[in-house]
Amino acid sequence: MNKIPVKRALLSVSDKKGIVEFAKALVNLGVDIISTGGTSKLLKDANIPHRQVDELTKMPEMLDGRVKTLHPKIHGGILGRRDDHAIEAAQHQIEWIDLVVVNFYPFEDAINKNKSMPWDEAVEYIDIGGPTMVRAAAKNFAWVGVVVDPEDYTQVLSELRLQGGLDFETRKNLAEKVFALTSHYDAMIHRFFLERSENHHECPQYKDLQLEKVAELRYGENPHQKASAYRIKNSPVGILSAAQHQGKPLSYNNILDSEAAVSCVAEFEEPACVIVKHANPCGAATASTIDDAYLGAYQADPLSAFGGIVALNRPCTKRIAEVIAGIFMEVVIAPAYTEEALAVFAAKPNLRVLEVPVHDRQDWEMKFITGGVLLQEKDNYIIRQEELKLVTNARPDKKDMEAMLFAWRVLKHIKSNGILIAKNNVTVGIGAGQVSRIDAVDLAVRKAGDHIQGTILASDAFFPFRDSIDRIAGTGVRAIIQPGGSMRDEEVIAACNEHNISMVFTGKRCFRH
């Protein structure tokens, strides 16, 4: 059926927004309305003619309202095919229902308002009749229109007025919306059961992931690739939930780099700044003030910082804004901005300025692969000084120890193989994403240049050979922090002793792929 007229509609909504106006318009179009409970009372108060469901079914609502629409007179009217089921429907005095307008009990709102809601109260918010009716209508979209979103009232009324019925494509699209909603609704209830289960754990047999599209991106990693951005439904955190004060829409690469920057800067409680380029930190620093942290991070590698992403864990000041405005940056991210800082940025209209609240780091992360998803705990482990094992004759001093603990937090966010050279809580040289550890060491040493004197070196995994130690001998690197655990640890330790370099083992590696 390309177009169907609407002679009869069933209205039963929890979200009452716009329903009175919608019902009045339907009546003016000659539509017979059937309604339930609270919706019926609202229509009655507005003097809108309609019949209650029990007038159709000849059965009262029962079992504290749990059963009211679960009846053949309702579901037969929704599910019947208008051609080969017509005779049977007439035999049972079933009236066709051409439009179903339903939304569900607010289960999510209810449990979010009361996290400790007892079971017997929570289950009463699980809608049965609503999902059953809309699934029936969506299945029979060849004959029936179904509306679950008040935003669709306008389109439905427009087609009924202009065409006298609903187009096939409209009915199909509305049906698709139904199955997206019921899928989300059931997944939400499933998550509630998992959270309340005595055997609850983070890796259940089935994992629900509901995504909503928030943006059609210009392209993906490269201009010839299509891309879109999807947010985990109702998530209040993350780059896709950021408030954007100004600038062009975020690109695919902007989003990935911004996520990397925010994840790294969230490692620190003290004022910190991280600058990211191509998903890797190229400069990171902590300081007593956010201004000094920014300057330290930028000066760590100003060449690589060009066109990068700046993330701060304190409000952005006018001073930082003025420095950023004088160079080319793609994105600035902070939990807040002074009015003076925003005024400075306004002169750079293409600069993307994002406000992302400081929030607790996530406990779990997902990575999509072909045909599946990998789920793992995020590496939120913070190495403490007392956990470090000294394995060399030379001992690191207090400043070296502080630098090593700082470096390890940044190193966790650098693609493996990763080497980081730092001093005074500022990165000096970073070697990221290399296929051998000695290559990563070479790159970090070259990046450090003349600033390498008096530094420490951090490695995200053990050194398989002593060649990396021999490479840094005489460069000015004073101490090394690494996991340890190689079959050649003794050989590496001996090399450090030969070159009078102190070294500690963490006992933990921090690979990032």
Tell me which CATH code domain 3-196 carries: 3.40.50.1380
Nearest residue to 23 via CA among 13, 15, 11: 11
**Token pair 């509609």: residue:** 9
Q: Are 430 and 420 in contact (CB under 8 A)?
A: yes
CATH number 3.30.505.10 given to 385-505: no
Which of 139, 177, 184, 499 is labelled catalytic? 139
User: How many CB atoms lie under 10 A from the CB of residue 2?
Assistant: 9
User: How many CB atoms lie under 10 A from the CB of residue 307?
Assistant: 13
Q: What are the tokens at 135? A: 């699934």
Q: Going residue by residue through the chain (513 aa), what tens digit of pLDDT does each one get?
A: 588 888 999 998 888 888 899 989 999 999 989 988 888 888 888 888 988 877 777 777 767 667 777 777 887 888 888 888 778 877 888 888 899 999 887 777 777 777 777 777 777 777 778 888 899 999 999 899 999 999 999 999 999 898 888 999 999 999 999 998 888 888 887 877 777 666 666 677 777 777 888 999 999 999 999 999 998 876 778 899 899 999 999 999 999 999 999 999 999 999 999 999 999 999 999 999 999 999 999 999 999 999 999 999 999 999 999 999 999 999 999 999 999 999 999 999 999 999 998 766 677 788 888 888 888 888 888 999 999 999 999 999 999 999 999 999 999 999 999 999 999 999 999 999 999 999 999 999 999 999 999 999 999 999 999 999 999 999 999 999 999 999 999 999 999 999 999 999 999 999 998
Q: What is the pLDDT of residue 357?
A: 86
Q: What is the pLDDT of residue 219?
A: 95
Q: What is the pLDDT of residue 360?
A: 65
Question: Whole-angstrom Cα distance, residue 88 to residue 157?
Answer: 31
Q: What are the tokens at 137? A: 């209508």
* Domain boundaries along the sequence of the chain: 3-196, 211-355, 385-505
- List the alpha helices (DSSP H) in 102-243: 107-113, 119-122, 129-139, 153-163, 168-196
Q: What's this model's pTM, rounded to 2 decimal places?
A: 0.80
CA distances for 214 relative to 230, 231, 239, 261, 490, angstroms: 6, 7, 11, 21, 53
**Token pair 């089921």: residue:** 85
Q: Are 97 and 144 in contact (CB under 8 A)?
A: yes
Q: How many residues does the chain have?
A: 513
Name, in order, each residue with C-beta under 8 angstroms of 138's C-beta and a sequence gap of 6 or more: 146, 174, 175, 176, 178, 179
Q: What are the tokens at 94? A: 């079933």
Question: Whole-angstrom Cα distance, residue 495 to residue 468?
Answer: 9
Bridge partners of 34?
A: 10, 51
The answer to whether 211-355 and 385-505 have equal CATH topology is yes
278 flagged as catalytic: yes
CA distances for 463 relative to 196, 330, 496, angstroms: 45, 36, 12
Identify the H or E element spanning 441: helix 437-448
Question: Whole-angstrom Cα distance, residue 310 to residue 232?
Answer: 24
103 upstream amide cis, omega within 30 of 0? no
Q: What is the pLDDT of residue 184?
A: 84
Question: Whole-angstrom Cα distance, residue 150 to residue 19?
Answer: 8
2 upstream amide cis, omega within 30 of 0? no
Which of 233, 278, 318, 499 is labelled catalytic? 278
Q: Which listed CATH number (1.10.3720.10, 3.50.50.60, 3.40.50.150, 3.40.140.20) goes with 211-355?
A: 3.40.140.20
Identify the H or E element spanning 389: strand 389-390
Q: Are 245 and 337 in contact (CB under 8 A)?
A: yes
Question: Whole-angstrom Cα distance, residue 273 to residue 295?
Answer: 9
